[in-house]
């Protein structure tokens, strides 16, 4: 028998190979058993359990395996593994929408008279959920009206507080918050920090690497390029298992396998798309910041905090921005209705550029006082900057602004 040649005693150990983020958007979460070049679509309701004993173990959570698509599914599992890898997390639960992801983690962590401390710079749907709906279930929320003041977060924490919640960058003001600082406060009080990272995506920021415990996403935005609805939670394996086998299983906010596969396809181009959104937003922001009919531009690259924001998010700020025109809602209406290229539509992160008036739509459920405290003026127009030629976007904005 031929002797196998042994390695030299002093041969250097092979270096571990860590795939870079750009590669992970395509290969992240893959396992050795994968045989499909593209994610497979498992459009089915239930899966064979095998033996009597295996069925018991699966339903008890003692063994991993596919049971019922409301709980888990191979197509959805591919998406979850991809997202967990991109976010540097251990596990993920994909949900039917971003709102269902927020609701799910709130119910799991704070049910039975729990308390949440959250920034008041939130998407309007989450603001309304926290202010109106969760209290009906015995969950109370304190909205921090000065969220850049770390002392205000500390002051709002109670013995019953179950987690801190922040959206960064925020919608529609695009405020950037210090995740690491908020994580330190949360951990000093032995509670987790939940970060909604929808507007940054893992292409621009990974909150778990900065101390956050749970990441929330609306996948309907940049991740899915505006094609399908979806949401996600990313965190530890222990926490995701606990959520899956309780509130997730019993309330059923699952994503469809079809949507999961579509999302996997779109995520493969996420980094290139986000770069284009960022570059176009910068170009549009520079133009608007110099326009005489624009009172203020809301984008982290501009204003007195630009250097701080760049330090917190060096990879860029995404494609969402806003601007305030002189003359309030009346003038904002004229600008919106005279745009030719921008679509008047309530989404973010599409190839096409979109516009909306937050005070009467996405944040229309806020009172005038709440709008003021959230820094949303009546003359604000929110832009989701797409991937057209920025010169055409600037021309369209210029001709619309000339009407006021």
Q: Where do the CATH 3.90.1150.10 domains begin and end in the chain?
A: 270-401
Residue carrying the six token digits 């996405």: 362
Using alpha carbons, select from 372, 58, 318 the residue that is nearest to residue 174: 318
Domain 270-401 fold is 3.90.1150
Task: Work out the burial of residue 279: count CB atoms within 10 Å of its CB; fewer than 13 is exposed, 13-18 middle, 19 or more buried.
Answer: middle
How does residue 23 score in pLDDT terms, banded at 50, 70 and 90? Answer: confident
The Cα–Cα gap between 238 and 61 comes to 11
Residue 146 in contact with residue 175, Cβ under 8 Å? no
Residue 169 preceded by cis peptide, ω within 30? yes
pTM recorded for the entire structure: 0.92
Domain 38-267 fold is 3.40.640
Phi, psi of 11 (to 5 degrees): -65, 135
Whole-number Cα distances in Å, 43 to 125, 135, 195, 255: 30, 37, 32, 12
Report the percentage of the chain scoring pLDDT > 70. Answer: 95
Mean pLDDT of the chain: 94
H helix intervals, 248-327: 249-251, 257-267, 270-289, 306-312
How does residue 138 score in pLDDT terms, banded at 50, 70 and 90? Answer: very high
Q: Where do the CATH 3.40.640.10 domains begin and end in the chain?
A: 38-267
The Cα–Cα gap between 355 and 368 comes to 21
| Three-state secondary-structure class, residue 222 | coil
Average pLDDT over residues 337-358: 97
The Cα–Cα gap between 82 and 115 comes to 32
The Cα–Cα gap between 163 and 183 comes to 10
pLDDT > 90? residue 8: no
More confident site: 95 or 28: 95
CB-based burial, 175-188: b 16+ in 10 Å, e otherwise: bbbbbeebbebbee
Average pLDDT over residues 16-29: 80
Task: Work out the burial of residue 141: count CB atoms within 10 Å of its CB; fewer than 13 is exposed, 13-18 middle, 19 or more buried.
Answer: buried
214-218: strand order across its sheet? 91-95, 231-235, 214-218, 193-196, 161-167, 115-119, 140-144
Residue 220 in contact with residue 226, Cβ under 8 Å? yes
The Cα–Cα gap between 374 and 234 comes to 27
User: So what's the pLDDT on residue 274?
Assistant: 97
The Cα–Cα gap between 9 and 178 comes to 48
Kindly report, residue by residue over 284-318, the tens digit of the pLDDT: 999 999 999 999 999 999 999 999 999 999 999 99
> If you compute the radius of gyration of the chain from its CA atoms, what whole number of angstroms results?
23
Q: How many helices (H) and strands (E) does the chain have?
A: 16, 12
């Amino acid at each position: 028998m031929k002797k196998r040649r042994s390695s030299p005693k002093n041969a250097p150990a092979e270096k571990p190979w860590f795939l870079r983020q750009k590669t992970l958007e395509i290969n992240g979460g893959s396992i050795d058993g994968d045989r499909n070049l593209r994610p497979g679509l498992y459009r089915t309701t239930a899966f064979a359990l095998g033996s009597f004993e295996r069925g018991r173990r699966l339903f008890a959570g003692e063994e991993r395996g596919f049971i019922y698509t409301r709980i888990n599914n191979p197509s959805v599992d591919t998406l979850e593994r991809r997202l967990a890898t991109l976010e540097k997390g251990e596990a993920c639960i994909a949900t039917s929408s971003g709102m269902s992801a927020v609701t799910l983690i709130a119910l799991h962590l704070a049910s039975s008279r729990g308390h949440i401390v959250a920034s008041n710079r939130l998407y309007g749907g989450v603001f309304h959920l926290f202010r109106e709906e969760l209290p009906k279930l015995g969950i109370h929320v304190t909205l921090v009206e000065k969220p850049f003041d770390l002392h205000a977060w500390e002051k709002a924490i109670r013995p019953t507080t179950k987690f801190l919640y922040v959206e960064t960058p925020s919608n529609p003001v695009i405020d950037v918050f210090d995740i690491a600082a908020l994580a330190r406060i949360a951990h000093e009080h032995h509670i987790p920090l939940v970060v909604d990272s929808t507007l940054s995506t893992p292409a621009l920021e990974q909150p778990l690497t900065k101390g956050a415990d749970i990441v929330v996403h609306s996948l309907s935005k940049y991740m899915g390029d505006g094609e399908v609805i979806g949401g996600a939670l990313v965190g530890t394996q222990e926490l995701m298992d606990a959520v899956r086998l309780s509130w997730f299983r019993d309330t059923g906010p699952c994503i469809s396998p079809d949507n999961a596969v579509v999302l996997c396809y779109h995520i493969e181009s996420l980094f290139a798309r986000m770069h284009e959104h960022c570059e176009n937003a910068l170009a549009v922001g520079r133009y608007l910041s110099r326009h005489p009919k624009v009172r203020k531009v809301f984008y982290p690259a501009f204003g007195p905090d630009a250097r701080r924001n760049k330090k917190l998010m060096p990879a860029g700020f995404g494609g969402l921005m806003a601007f305030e025109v002189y003359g309030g809602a009346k003038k904002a209406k004229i600008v919106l209705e005279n745009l030719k290229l921008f679509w008047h539509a309530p989404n973010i992160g599409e190839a096409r550029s979109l516009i909306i008036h937050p005070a009467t739509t996405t944040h229309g459920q806020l009172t005038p006082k709440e709008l003021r405290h959230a820094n949303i003026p009546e003359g604000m127009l929110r832009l989701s900057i797409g991937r057209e030629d920025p010169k055409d976007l600037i021309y369209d904005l210029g001709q619309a602004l000339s009407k006021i």
